[in-house]
Amino acid sequence: MKVLSNISHACSPPFGSLRSPADMFCAPYIMSDTSEKYKLVLGLEVHIQPKTARKMFCGCDAAIWKSEPNSHTCPTCLGLPGALPVPNFEAVHKTHLLGLALNCKLNKNSKFDRKHYFYPDLPKGYQISQYKEPLCGEGYLNLDSGFKVEIERIHLEEDTAKSFHDENKTMLDFNKSGIPLIELVTKPCFREVLDASEFCKKIQVLVKTLGVSEADMEKGQMRLEANISLRTREMEERGELPKYKVEIKNINSFRFMEKAVKAEIERQSVLFEKGEAPVQENRGFNEATGKTVSQREKEEAHDYRYFPEPDIPPMEFDDKYFEELKKELPELPDEKKRRYIEKYGLSEASALKISVSDYIKVFDSVAAELNPVAVANVLINKPESRRWSKEKFREELNKKVDVISDEDTLKLVIKKVVESNPKAADDYEKGKKNAIQFLTGLVIRETKGKADPNITRNLIIKALK
Ligand code: ZN
Ligand code: MN
């Protein structure tokens, strides 16, 4: 490859020297597929509202959902001069539990800092957060594919008030002001947006399992921010990170995140193709247009003038406390999944489905005493069973004792039947729908009438696709 001479200067700030091969993609030649040319670099910030009785630094009731505006306030969370913050240990403890579950280094010394910026929903002019000494340092979480998500830090802070814009008025509700927030920051380790959404889903299940948060995204108890930039394949090979990032804020669903990131990849690729470079800024995603729009240029950390919060003494944690914390950790979702496979003989797919489901408690309470594979199948395929009692399960499973509904067992029989009847499979491909009926009949005969006809039929259709 040779470096072209007519490279636009706009490319240089985020990518350094114009002489580097990284500048190649600013050159005015067109490749048909830009997805091969520009590689995604994605980092996440996840805000989680821990479930606590009180707010972060005052005694106000934290149960604010649907309550009258400004009904959960006091001088501290209204930011009145002279009011003193007192940290909520319940929130500290929950942050530590999450850190422990994510293999983080828990810091023995930690403190709160003031993060300064001006906005009407922040009357103190600063947010109490954590900067240099967060509660939890580096950690990681493995995804199902084996991809390791690297966690930079987990800290604790306070939420702001909520503003409502109505024509030319802005109204403020201080109920949310001072609600505790756990902030989890990943390294810019994601290369695929689907890994990022899988990570967020796993975090959501994990905080629920730990009892740290209800993580209801509709109630804003879990909020995502994505930092997105692109780099060339050469930069990726050298392990070189881009020198800019675009932050998408206020992402309130996983689907929304996937769309927003895809839109941003597209926008930034087009800029690079034109020889321009994206600027470091915050952007919001407009679902209606499918595009992101600029909100404001991003501050650097030094713009916030962080300094230690003088009204809260530094925190110190001893080994005994950390030891106790380890004992509190329940069985985690991945451990549950492994146990379901190894001890109960569930398939990988069923074990995964159950381990992240809302009906996991039902499964746990019934599976040990009955046939776990049968219980799992009923729970997955019959939503109404998720409210059944143990007696009802016993009754239903006894009824079905002669019916094979276990997908893994059926798939083996189907494979055998399809392989020994290639003509039927061929007919189906040519559009003869009744070939399915024929094959279903064979599977039922093969199982001496025990195969569940509906499940069998669906599995055959899947197998022939
Ligand atoms: Zn208060
Ligand atoms: Mn934050």
> How sure is the predictor about 156, in pLDDT bands with cuts at 50, 70 and 90?
very high
Centroid of ligand 2 to alpha carbon of 47 (angstroms): 7
Contact 185, 42 (CB under 8 A): no
Q: How far is the CA of 57 from the centre of ligand 1 (A)?
A: 7
Q: Are residues 71 and 155 in the same domain?
A: yes
Q: How far is the CA of 60 from the centre of ligand 1 (A)?
A: 4
- 264 and 341 belong to one structural domain: no
Q: Pairing between strand 246-251 and 281-286?
A: parallel
Determine if the pTM surpasses 0.85. no
In a domain, 239, yes or no: yes
Q: Which range, 29-38, 149-158, 427-436, is most confident?
A: 149-158
Structure confidence by residue, pLDDT tens digits, 238-275:
999 999 999 999 898 999 999 999 999 999 999 999 99
Based on the domain organization, do 317 and 343 belong to the same domain? no
Distance from residue 102's CA to the centre of ligand 2 (Å)? 19
pLDDT-derived band at 401 (thresholds 50, 70, 90) equals low
228 membership: H or E segment, kind and range: strand 222-232
Are 173 and 55 members of one domain?
Answer: yes
Among the bound ligands, name the one nearest to the CA of residue 160: 2
Point out the ligand nearest to the CA of residue 117.
2
Q: Of 278, 301, 325, which marks where a domain is finished? A: 325
Percent of the chain with pLDDT over 70: 91
Task: Say yes or no: 390 and 344 in one domain.
Answer: yes
Encoded tokens for 93: 């403890």
- With respect to residue 320, please indicate whether it lies within any of the assigned structural domains: yes
Q: Give mean pLDDT, residues 189-198.
A: 96
Cα(314) to ligand 1 centroid in Å equals 22
Query: Is the predicted pLDDT of residue 448 greater than 80, yes or no?
Result: no
| Residue 287: per-residue pLDDT | 86
Q: Is 25 inside any structural domain?
A: no
Q: Is residue 23 pLDDT above 70, yes or no? A: no
Q: What is the mean pLDDT of the chain?
A: 88
- Distance from Cα 220 to the centre of ligand 1, integer Å: 19
411 vs 394: CA distance, rounded Å: 25
- The domain in which residue 354 lies consists of 333-464
* 358 and 415 housed in the same domain: yes
Centre of ligand 2 from the C-alpha of residue 45, in Å: 8
Measured from the alpha carbon of residue 224, the closest ligand is 2
| In a shared domain, residues 53 and 200 | yes
pLDDT (0 to 100) of residue 400: 57
Residue 6: its pLDDT value, please?
34
Three-state DSSP class for residue 316: strand
Starting from the CA of residue 88, give the closest ligand: 1
Percent of the chain at pLDDT > 90 equals 63
- Rounded to the nearest whole angstrom, what is the distance from the C-alpha of residue 76 to the centroid of ligand 1? 5
- Per-residue pLDDT of 75-124, as tens digits, reads 999 999 999 999 999 999 999 999 999 999 999 999 999 999 999 999 99
Q: What is the pLDDT of residue 20?
A: 37
19 falls within a domain: no
Q: Ranked by mean pLDDT, which of 6-10, 258-262, 391-395, 409-413 comes out on top?
A: 258-262
Confidence band (pLDDT; 50, 70, 90) for 452?
confident
| Residue written as token pair 């905080």 | 207
Domain closes at, from 296, 325, 354: 325
- Residue 433 clears pLDDT 90, i.e. is over it: no
Nearest ligand for residue 129 CA: 2
Over residues 321-332, the mean pLDDT reads: 96
Q: Is the pLDDT of residue 234 over 70?
A: yes
The rounded Å distance from CA 434 to ligand 1 centre is: 68
What is the whole-number distance in angstroms between the Cα of residue 144 and the centre of ligand 1?
Answer: 42
Same domain, 351 and 281: no
- Closest ligand to Cα 128: 2
Across 136-140, 179-183, 298-302, 442-446, least confident range: 298-302
Sequence-ordered strand ranges (E) for 349-398:
none
Helix (H) or strand (E) holding 249: strand 246-251
Statement: residue 413 has pLDDT above 70: yes
Ligand nearest to the CA of 77: 1
Average pLDDT of span 352-379: 88
Centre of ligand 1 from the C-alpha of residue 177, in Å: 8
DSSP 280: S
378 and 265 in a common domain? no
User: CA 426, CA 189: separation in Å to the nearest integer?
Assistant: 46
Task: Point out the ligand nearest to the CA of residue 85.
Answer: 1
CATH of the domain at 403: 1.10.10.410
Identify which ligand lies nearest to the alpha carbon of 60: 1
Q: At which of 309, 325, 341 does a domain end?
A: 325
Distance 308 CA to ligand 2 centre (A): 16
Instruction: Report yes or no on 68 lying in a domain.
Output: yes
- Residue 379 CA, ligand 1 centroid: distance in Å: 44
**Nearest ligand to the C-alpha of residue 247?**
2
Whole-number Å distance between alpha carbons of 42 and 193: 8
Ligand nearest to the CA of 157: 2
- What are 275-288's pLDDT values in tens digits? 998 999 999 998 88
Say yes or no: 236 and 363 in one domain: no
Helix (H, G, I), strand (E, B) or coil at 353: helix
Q: How far is the CA of 132 from the centre of ligand 2 (A)?
A: 14
- How many structural domains does the chain have? 2
Of the listed ligands, the closest to the CA of 47 is: 2
Give residue 394's pLDDT. 87
Q: Residues 305, 383: one domain?
A: no
Helix (H) or strand (E) holding 360: helix 360-367
> In this structure, what token pair is assigned to residue 451?
């195969």
Interval 168-193: pLDDT, tens: 999 999 999 999 999 999 999 999 99
Query: From the CA of 210, how far away is ligand 1's center (Å)?
Result: 26
Within this chain, do residues 453 and 347 fall inside the same structural domain, yes or no?
yes
Band (pLDDT 50/70/90 cuts) for residue 402 is low
Residue whose pair of structure tokens reads 């023995």 in the numeric block: 108
- Say if 9 falls within a structural domain: no
Ligand nearest to the CA of 80: 1
Distance 202 CA to ligand 1 centre (A): 32
**Top-confidence range, 90-104, 416-430, 439-453:** 90-104
Stronger pLDDT, 5 or 353, i.e. the higher one = 353
Of the ranges 33-37, 170-174, 373-377, which one carries the lowest mean pLDDT score?
Answer: 33-37
For residue 15, tell me if it sits in a domain. Answer: no
Distance from the CA of 279 to the center of ligand 2, in angstroms? 22
Average pLDDT value for residue range 293-300: 78
* Confidence band, pLDDT 50/70/90 cuts, at residue 31: very low
7 domain-assigned = no
What spacing in Å lies between the alpha carbon of 184 and ligand 2's midpoint?
9
